């Protein structure tokens, strides 16, 4: 039996098109290596090839076995958690009182938009799952340039400002700085997945991107981006000594920037900082929100508070406080557990991935998800300063749903192909 015929019988038993190509390449290399060993023993080429094939056994049995091994995997647990989160994300809107927010909120329109966001988020996650993430790796610099271009477009052509965040509104679509994050996640994951990382080049690219993010003036996204790149760099194949030097230099530079920034803060920025440090002394100003949330949490019970107060940003950044007030500690605990399971599951997937690019994509995704989750909970209970930061899936808006659906989709795509690790070609 010839190699081609043997491979055709084996791959005919495999249902996945991706697995067929992978198995065919893997078996070909195995047969050629075995054939070379038989040739070294002095037999002719035809007999050497036949013996190499015979060593693999029945092609039908082998094909059936490989079909089971390389069957695309679907993480039903992650999909189930995603669906539960999307369904629970309607709860903040269901308890809104129109008379409290009638001046700037159309509740019916918000619910309609929420339905659209949820459908788009679920579709996006499933669509990315079926797409082959490995094809993105070769376009690392293209994604980087696209991210820089998007930030530059926001800087020069923004025409809308909502809660201090600049946007580019085109019809019903608002282009936000958050949309650049997935582009840079793919770019940096691909760059740091390489066996040899050019440190100087990476530092130049990082500085350029920091300047671009700073030009749009959104500290929340800038913070997420810096942490994202730092985590991905820490998981790269750069030697530990170089990592330590880079992190040390970055830490010193960051301290200098913080000191410089503190010295040139505007009066209103200092007022907000004092409000966080000592809200009681700034109860009529920047400390008001911290005291309001503290009162909301104290007055709530396991099933909600009897007295409902108006919480600014109750459907966006402070949605967790609104959930505690409306539904109580029980639901809040359920949401914390659900989102924690998200983080744990994403971490578990990253541990099981051998492909460096896929591993970094999942690690970057869980980093972005965790920052949103932990920071939003922290600022809702008064531990962290209040900034513009959404609670994944729960906060109203296009990006809190789409960005995190993208993260879940990437994890599903990597998990689906975790048995199809690219093998290195060896000379035979």
Whether residue 163 has pLDDT greater than 90? no
- Cβ neighbors of 85 (< 8 A, separation 6 or more) are 338, 339, 342, 392, 393, 394
Residues 95 and 56 placed together within one structural domain of the fold:
no
Residue 427 pLDDT class (50, 70, 90 cuts)? very low
How many other β-carbons are positioned within 10 Å of the β-carbon of residue 64? 14
Residues 93 and 52 placed together within one structural domain of the fold:
no
Task: With H, G, I as helix, E, B as strand and everything else as coil, classify residue 390.
Answer: coil
Task: Give me the torsion for CA of 162, 163, 165, 168, rounded to 10°.
Answer: 0
* Residue 380 within any structural domain of the chain: yes
Whether residue 104 has pLDDT greater than 80? no
Task: With H, G, I as helix, E, B as strand and everything else as coil, classify residue 303.
Answer: coil
Whether residue 422 has pLDDT greater than 50? no
* Residue 295 within any structural domain of the chain: no
Whether residue 225 has pLDDT greater than 50? yes
pLDDT in tens, 230-246: 999 999 988 888 889 98
Measured CA to CA, the distance from residue 369 to residue 387 in angstroms comes to: 16
Highest mean pLDDT among 28-32, 252-256, 304-308: 28-32
Residue 222 vs residues 112, 214, 229, 380: alpha-carbon distances, Å: 31, 7, 11, 20
Q: What percent of the chain is predicted at pLDDT more than 70?
A: 91
Q: Which residue has the higher pLDDT, 54 or 217?
A: 54
Residue 358 pLDDT class (50, 70, 90 cuts)? very high
Domain count, the chain: 3
Whether residue 424 has pLDDT greater than 50? no
Residues 318 and 414 placed together within one structural domain of the fold:
yes
- State the average pLDDT over residues 48-77: 82
Residue 324 pLDDT class (50, 70, 90 cuts)? very high
Highest mean pLDDT among 65-74, 100-109, 297-306: 297-306
Residues 399 and 413 placed together within one structural domain of the fold:
yes
Question: Would you say 359 and 139 are in contact if contact means Cβ atoms under 8 Å apart?
Answer: no
* Residue 46 within any structural domain of the chain: yes
Decide which of 46, 69, 92 is a domain's last residue: 69
* Residue 266 within any structural domain of the chain: no
Residues 114 and 157 placed together within one structural domain of the fold:
no
pLDDT in tens, 359-414: 999 999 999 999 999 999 999 988 998 888 999 999 988 888 999 999 999 999 99
Q: Show the domain range for 172.
A: 139-237
Question: Would you say 375 and 150 are in contact if contact means Cβ atoms under 8 Å apart?
Answer: no
Instruction: State the pTM of this model.
Output: 0.84
Decide which of 69, 87, 121 is a domain's last residue: 69
Decide which of 45, 69, 93 is a domain's last residue: 69
Whether residue 67 has pLDDT greater than 80? no
Measured CA to CA, the distance from residue 334 to residue 300 in angstroms comes to: 15
Whether residue 350 has pLDDT greater than 70? yes
């Amino acid at each position: 039996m010839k190699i081609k015929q043997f491979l055709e019988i084996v791959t005919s038993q495999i249902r996945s098109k991706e697995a067929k190509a992978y198995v065919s390449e893997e078996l070909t290399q195995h047969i050629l290596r075995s054939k070379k060993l038989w040739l070294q023993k002095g037999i002719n080429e035809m007999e050497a090839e036949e013996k190499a094939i015979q060593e693999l056994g029945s092609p039908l049995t082998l094909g059936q076995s490989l079909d089971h091994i390389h069957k695309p995997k679907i993480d039903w647990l992650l999909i189930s958690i995603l669906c539960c989160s999307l369904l629970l994300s309607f709860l903040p809107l269901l308890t809104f009182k129109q008379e409290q927010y009638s001046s700037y909120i159309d509740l019916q329109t918000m619910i309609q938009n929420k339905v659209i966001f949820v459908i788009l988020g679920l579709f996006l996650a499933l669509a990315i799952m079926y797409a082959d993430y490995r094809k993105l790796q070769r376009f690392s610099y293209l994604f980087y340039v696209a991210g820089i271009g998007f930030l530059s477009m926001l800087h020069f052509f923004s025409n809308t400002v909502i809660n201090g965040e600049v946007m580019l509104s085109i019809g019903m679509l608002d282009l936000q700085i958050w949309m650049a994050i997935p582009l840079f996640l793919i770019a940096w994951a691909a760059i740091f997945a390489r066996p040899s990382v050019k440190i100087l080049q990476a530092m130049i690219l990082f500085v350029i991107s920091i300047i671009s993010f700073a030009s749009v003036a959104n500290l929340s996204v800038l913070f997420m981006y810096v942490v994202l790149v730092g985590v991905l760099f820490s998981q790269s194949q750069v030697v530990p000594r170089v990592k330590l030097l880079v992190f040390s230099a970055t830490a010193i530079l960051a301290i200098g920037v913080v000191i410089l920034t503190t010295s040139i803060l505007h009066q209103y920025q200092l007022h907000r900082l004092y409000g966080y440090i000592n809200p009681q002394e700034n109860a009529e100003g920047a400390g008001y929100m911290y005291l309001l949330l503290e009162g909301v949490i104290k007055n709530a019970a396991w099933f909600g508070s009897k007295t409902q107060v108006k919480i600014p940003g109750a459907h966006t950044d402070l949605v967790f406080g609104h959930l505690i007030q409306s539904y109580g500690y029980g639901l809040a605990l359920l949401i914390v557990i659900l989102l924690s399971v998200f983080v744990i599951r994403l971490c578990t997937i990253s541990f099981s991935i051998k492909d460096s690019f896929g591993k970094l994509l999942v690690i970057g995704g869980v980093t972005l998800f965790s920052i949103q989750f932990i920071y939003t909970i922290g600022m809702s209970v008064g531990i962290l300063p209040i900034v513009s930061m959404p609670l994944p899936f729960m906060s109203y808006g296009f990006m809190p749903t789409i960005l995190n659906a993208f993260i879940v989709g990437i994890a599903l795509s990597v998990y689906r192909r975790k048995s199809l690790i690219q093998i290195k070609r060896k000379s035979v």
